[in-house]
């Protein structure tokens, strides 16, 4: 696993992402020295969701179809209700999640982001957490769900909500530095 300064991280999102769940990890990982890129379904800018209404626009770096898991060390999946619900209907997004997972790379999902993990069928037998309203979805998909700030199961990192962003970001950075461990 590369040191954080050599790490390349992809964030996958679309309209309706929880503003802080995209921006905080992006900014923290960049501050730590990682190269961070954002993929949206069509490569166009996307609009966040913040405080019960539409948030700010964020520019994408590439289209989902151009994203190759072999080019990155980690994948970050922000939540928000709309964002992962839209992405889990995109075959390319689900396939990308599966390719990161199957490649043993860090896959970090927060809030409703684990819906994509369910759709990619990568939670079976894994320890996970999420926003409480999708707990049953993760359990029904075979996940071992617990109500904790962050849960680390190998390269899989999951977290509950914006209140847990510090723990979430710390777990991603630790994983990229090679000091993952269990959370």
Helix H or strand E segment including 8: strand 8-12
Q: Give the bridge partners for 18, in sequence order.
A: 49
Rounded to whole angstroms, the Cα distance separating 56 from 30 reads 19
Active site residue 101: no
The answer to whether the CB of 22 falls within 8 A of the CB of 13 is yes
Q: Produce one character per residue of 149-160: b if its CB has 16 or more CB atoms within 10 Å, e if not.
A: bbbbbebbbbbb
Rounded to whole angstroms, the Cα distance separating 151 from 129 reads 6
- Spatial neighbors of 29 by CB under 8 A, at least 6 apart, are 4, 7, 9, 36, 76, 169, 172, 173, 176
Catalytic annotation, pick one of 112, 126, 127, 135: 112
Rounded to whole angstroms, the Cα distance separating 158 from 26 reads 16
Q: State in Å, rounded, how far the first CA of the chain is from the last one.
A: 18
Q: Which residues are catalytic?
A: 112
């Amino acid at each position: 696993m590369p040191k954080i300064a050599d790490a390349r991280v992809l964030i996958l999102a679309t309209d309706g992402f929880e503003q802080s769940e995209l921006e905080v990890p992006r900014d923290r990982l960049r501050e730590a020295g990682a190269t961070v890129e954002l993929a949206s379904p069509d490569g166009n800018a996307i609009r966040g969701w913040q405080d019960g209404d539409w948030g700010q626009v964020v520019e994408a770096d590439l289209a989902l179809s151009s994203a190759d898991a072999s080019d990155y060390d980690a994948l970050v999946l922000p939540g928000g209700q709309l964002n992962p619900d839209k992405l889990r209907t995109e075959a390319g997004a689900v396939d990308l999640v599966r390719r990161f997972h199957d490649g043993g790379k860090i896959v970090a999902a927060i809030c409703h982001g684990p819906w994509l993990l369910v759709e990619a069928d990568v939670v079976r037998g894994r320890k996970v957490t999420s926003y409480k309203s999708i707990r049953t979805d993760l359990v029904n998909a075979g996940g071992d769900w617990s109500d904790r700030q962050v849960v680390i199961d190998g390269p899989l990192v999951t977290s509950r909500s914006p209140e847990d962003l510090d723990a979430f970001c710390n777990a991603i950075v630790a994983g990229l530095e090679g000091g993952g461990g269990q959370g």
